[in-house]
Each structure stands twice: as structure tokens, then as C-alpha cells.
Amino acid sequence: GNSVTQMEGPVTLSEEAFLTINCTYTATGYPSLFWYVQYPGEGLQLLLKATKADDKGSNKGFEATYRKETTSFHLEKGSVQVSDSAVYFCALNGATGFQKLVFGTGTRLLVSP
């Protein structure tokens, strides 16, 4: 079945540091890939998505590229802010059948001033 593997957290960075959160997936065909963010005490918000190989999703300075050859969708940001502290979820929606998101375990990011 489909699955998503994310790096364990927490990831602790200082403000303005470079961020990478690794995400790899297992799926048949060409799934769509998503990054969702959950700020403390809130629900999930879509951060970015990519629906086909080599697509780059970007939003709020974050970006991720759909790499079919390495089955990866790593999240990057060049300069993090304290306000980026949250839990980040990588997810996929399978290419066939009814839609259902399969999530990774989430990675908590802590950014200190």
C-alpha cells in the first residue's frame, strides 16, 4: 500500500537558518504530494503541493520538488522565522481509487530567536 516516511523530529533551528525536512514515499503510479502545516492548537493548513513529477510547489518561502526517481518530496526554506515553528506533515493522495490522504508521522520544527 501507499506510505510516507518523514524524518523524525524535533528539528531545532535558529532564526534565519536553512531548513530541510526529508520526505520519501511509496506508491504505485503518480500520486499527488502535499505538505501540510499544523500550528500550535490549530488545524491543518495546506502549505504546498505538487501533482506530477518534477513539479515544484512553493508558498511562503517554502518549496518542495516532486522527484519521481528518488520518490522524494523534501521541504526546504532558505531562512526560517520563529513564526514557522509548527508540525509539518508530508502526505500523498494515491493515483488510483478514491481519494484519501496518507500522512507521514509529522516533523516538529522549533525555531529560536
Partner 1 sequence: DTAVSQTPKYLVTQMGNDKSIKCEQNLGHDTMYWYKQDSKKFLKIMFSYNNKELIINETVPNRFSPKSPDKAHLNLHINSLELGDSAVYFCASSQGTSGSTDTQYFGPGTRLTVL
Report the interface residues with partner 1, using CB under 8 A: 30-32, 34, 36, 38, 42-46, 49, 51, 87, 89, 92-103, 105-106, 108
What CA–CA distance (Å, rounded) separates 47 from 76? 12
For partner 1, the closer of residues 77 and 93 by Cβ is 93
The minimum distance between CB 2 and partner 1, in angstroms, equals 10
- Picking from 86, 88, 83, the residue whose alpha carbon sits closest to that of residue 73 is 88
Is residue 7 within 8 Å of 106, Cβ to Cβ? no
For partner 1, the closer of residues 28 and 81 by Cβ is 28
